[in-house]
Structures are given as structure tokens and as C-alpha cells.
Amino acid sequence: MPVLRHPEKAHRPDQTQPKKPSWIRVKAPSGAGYARTREIMRENRLTTVCEEAGCPNVGECWSQGHATMMIMGEICTRGCSFCNVRTGRPDTLDLFEPGRVAHAVQKLGLNHVVVTSVDRDDLTDGGADHFAQTIRAIRHRAPGTTIEVLTPDFLKSDTGSLEKVVEARPDVFNHNLETVPGLYPTVRPGARYFHSLRLLQRVKELDPAMFTKSGIMVGLGEDRQGVLQVMDDMRAADVDFLTIGQYLQPTPKHHRVDRFVTPEEFDGYGRAAYGKGFLMVSATPLTRSSYHAGDDFAQLRAARLAKLGQV
């Protein structure tokens, strides 16, 4: 029930949303591949953002053996108005989790894995060391797998937390800005736009060769000019890869859908982003941060080589 899962939203009035257009509809999850991925996740007692966040692409991705690992539990210390991950007081960190994640990655035979987490403002380093241990465990068990991390903002963490993650050398460092700065007070109240932007910029300062990635949702009430400004801000921070997807309202207590952005508008955003210099752009209604991440990483690497004149 939304009230139990999101106690901070219980007092809010229900928000109705417009009827979903045809381009948003997806098939219900099914098939042998989906069942096998689900079984491996359960065997290793792992949490996925695919399930916790109610991703519309879970059927497609899991049927292909792709899942986004969510470490450090399934309870977040923040209560963003768009997010379906439950809010509350998290459990103690599971020190054996990095090894179990690595085992699942090996068993699934993943070429590319995305590791994300809840926000852990209760930890002095925001969980940075746990991210680093997970990266190292995957490198040990599945050395051929490329690793993408989707981290929190480490806003309330000790100095040096970000450095711990970067030093573990993921192949892609992703942190989502989520929306335009003017909507932060209502959409992402526990975060700070320019802190998140600076985090992405700092990754490049620490390791200029590391790919950086960020994403936003549209349909929250932003306008086109605001989205284009976020693109400019990301490029000023040297972000390589941009994802843009349609916001979908998880429950009536969450932030309302202002409108459903058309596929043609997404195409326009994609063209604008490439024009601003991003190496890789994914802009479709069903785009999510880790959707087709493996294929996208291969294209990202090829785009950099092309830019450097090495292909």
C-alpha cells in the first residue's frame, strides 16, 4: 500500500494522471528468460531497481538476462516525490552483498552490469565504500564485465566519498539530475541541483577518461527551454551520455504527470542533445537510466574513438 511504503506521502491528496497514450503501453513480464533472471535474483537475495522502482521495461530486460542491481537495501533515507522506492530507516549494511552481486553477475553472464543504490544519508560515506567493494568483487568474479554505477549524490557524506567510488574504476559513472532546477523543491527536495552537477564535473577531474552519464525525466511540468538549459549545464560539466524519459506516476500519492511528451518531441530533444556535443543520447518515452545500457556502452565507446579519430 502506498501509505505504508511511503509514509511521508500519506498526507498528500491523490493526484490524477492523464490517460496513458499508446506509445507508453508495454507487455506484462513473462517467459523463460524473465523467470530465470528472477530466480537468480531471489537465490542471491538481491534487490533490483527494476522491481523497486516499478520500471516499465522489466519484462523486456529480464527476458534478456539484464537486471539493475540495487545495493544497500531497499529502504531509502529520502522521499523524492517521483520515486517508488520505499522511504524509512534502512537496515544495517550487508557486508556479504558485494560478493552475492558479483556471483549473480557471473551466473547471468552479463557483458555489462548497472549497480545502483538507495540514498543512505545515515552512513558517514553515503555508502561509497560499499559501492567500491561491489565494483571490486565484480571485477574479481567477472573480469570481462563492464561496470556502470548509478550513485546517490553523497550530499551529506564525508569529504572523499566520491573519490572512493572513482578509485574503484567503474567504466561508467552515472548520477541523474532527474529534472530541471526549478522543480527540485517539489520533485527532489532532499537534493541540490548544482551539487549534483558539480559531482559529475568532479568525476571528470578525478579521471578524465571515465565516461559520465546523467538523465532527466520529462512530463513533470518543465518546459523545453528548461530541458535545453540542463543539457548545456551537463555539457559544461563534460557529461558524455544523456538519457531522457517520460515520467510515470507510481501511485496517486506521487507527483502528478503534467503531460505525456510525444515521441516527436523526444526525437527533437535527441537531435538537440547531439548538437550540443553529447557522445551518446537516449531520448524516448520509455528510456530509463539503465535501459539497453550494455548496447549503449558499446556505442558510447565507439563514439569516443570516432571523435578521437581512432576508427
Per cent of the chain over pLDDT 70 is: 84
Instruction: Tell whether the model's pLDDT for residue 1 goes beyond 50.
Output: no
> What residue type is 70 in one-letter code?
M
Q: Measured at the alpha carbon of residue 150, what is the angle toward residues 69 and 49, in degrees to the nearest 5?
A: 35
pLDDT, residue 3, reads: 47
> pLDDT tens digits, residue range 45-98?
766 655 555 555 555 555 555 667 889 998 999 989 988 888 999 999 999 999
Give yes or no for a contact between 29 and 289, defined as CB atoms under 8 angstroms apart.
Answer: no
Residue 31, phi then psi, degrees to nearest 5: 100, 165
pTM of the model: 0.88
DSSP string, 21-53: PGGG--PPP-SHHHHHHHHHHHHTT-EEHHHHT
**Count helices and strands in the chain by DSSP H and E runs:** 12, 10
pLDDT, residue 30, reads: 54
Instruction: Tell whether the model's pLDDT for residue 144 goes beyond 70.
Output: yes
> pLDDT tens digits, residue range 110-141?
888 999 999 999 999 999 999 999 999 999 99
205 or 248, higher pLDDT: 205
Q: Which strand (E) or helix (H) includes residue 224?
A: helix 224-236
Q: How far apart are CA 233 and CA 194, in angstroms?
A: 9
The strands making up 47-48's β-sheet, listed across from edge to edge, are 47-48, 68-71, 112-117, 146-150, 172-174, 211-218, 241-246, 280-283
Question: What cell does 24 get?
Answer: 507508453
Whole-angstrom CA distances from 214 to 93, 244, 266 are 26, 9, 16
Q: Which of 223-232, 242-251, 291-300 has the lowest mean pLDDT?
A: 291-300
Q: How far apart are CA 290 and CA 61, in angstroms?
A: 10
- pLDDT range class, residue 258, cuts 50, 70, 90: very high
pLDDT, residue 2, reads: 44
State the chain's mean pLDDT as an integer.
Answer: 87
Q: Residue with C-alpha cell 546523467? A: 214
pLDDT, residue 75, reads: 92
Question: Per-residue pLDDT averaged across 252-278, rounded?
Answer: 96
